[in-house]
Amino acid sequence: MVGWSGIDRAADFDQFHAAARALAAGTDPYRLFPNAWWPFHLFYPLPAVLLALPLASFALPIARAAWIGLSAAVLCFALSRERWRLLTLASGSAVFALAAGQWTPLCLAALFLPAISGLWIAKPTIGLAAFIARPNRGAVIGGLLLLAASLAIMPAWPRAWLHSLSGTISVIPLARPGGFLLLAALVRWRRPEARLLLALAAVPQTTALYETLMLFAVPRSPRELALLGAASWVALYFVIGIPGPISAAALTAREWPILLACVWLPALALILLRPNRAEPAPWAGLPADQKPPR
């Protein structure tokens, strides 16, 4: 298919790049989609489009590369407090999320770097789960500033956005087959990583592989991270092996058992192996060689 700039569509970023160009030209970006190039509605709120505006003037290949590079750089910086966490970028989930030009790398980065947590408003469902796990003033202030700016530019966008959500394929992981197993995290409710997993499982999402990147906040040691990363590559292997062409809804339905078995349940297992005791969150920067109190 031919993209906005006359080249093949390759990343989810391409849609909000096109939306940012439309907004810069004074056009309602929610009226652009769906179309022959992109068969889905614009599911992102306008703050996400605003954040893409600095790249709108660049040709799509350059803008896409800049977005992926910037996302990777911010995630690297956020994880570098504990250098072993940089292995996250070598996971199948991270590779898939970055290649797709998704918001998830920045959402995960903001969990470790609350100064940028206002970005969560760009992907509000995953952002809500992250905020539940790490509520902070920066997320509220930054989110409100982005919301105010978007309303000043286009006051009617919330109505257009809510209308576009009627065409979404998002579902709640807990409602997927076998998703109820994730409720086992309730037995570790005192742990912040258990609350993160439960919140992620309870918010609407596409349940695609890139969404599982948020689960890489769960590991507390290099070994745990390596195990979860290896499992995510198994998931990627089977996900890319799903034959097509196939509808988006059918694709996510076929992906879900793979992701549940290879990423969600391993992350759950890491949590269940820990005591139900309130301890510093993994994203709080606990050194790898410092064992939490038992």
> Could you read off the pLDDT of 144-164 as tens digits, one per residue?
999 999 999 999 999 999 988
| Residue 163: burial class (beta carbons within 10 Å; 0-12, 13-18, 19+) | exposed
Residue type, position 257, single letter: P
> Could you read off the pLDDT of 238-272 as tens digits, one per residue?
999 988 777 888 888 899 999 999 999 999 999 99
Q: Which residues contact 1 (CB under 8 A, 6 or more apart)?
A: 8, 9, 36, 37
> Could you read off the pLDDT of 5-57 as tens digits, one per residue?
333 446 789 998 999 999 999 999 999 988 877 888 898 999 999 999 999 99
Give the residue-averaged pLDDT of 174-194: 96
The enclosing H or E element of 266 equals helix 265-272
Rounded-to-integer distance, Cα 248 and Cα 49, Å: 23
Mean per-residue pLDDT of the chain? 90
What is the model's pLDDT at position 111? 96
Kindly state the tokens that stand for 164: 């576009």
Tell me the whole-structure pTM to 2 decimals: 0.91
User: How far is CA 32 from each of CA 18, 55, 193, 206, rounded to the nearest angstrom?
Assistant: 9, 18, 39, 21
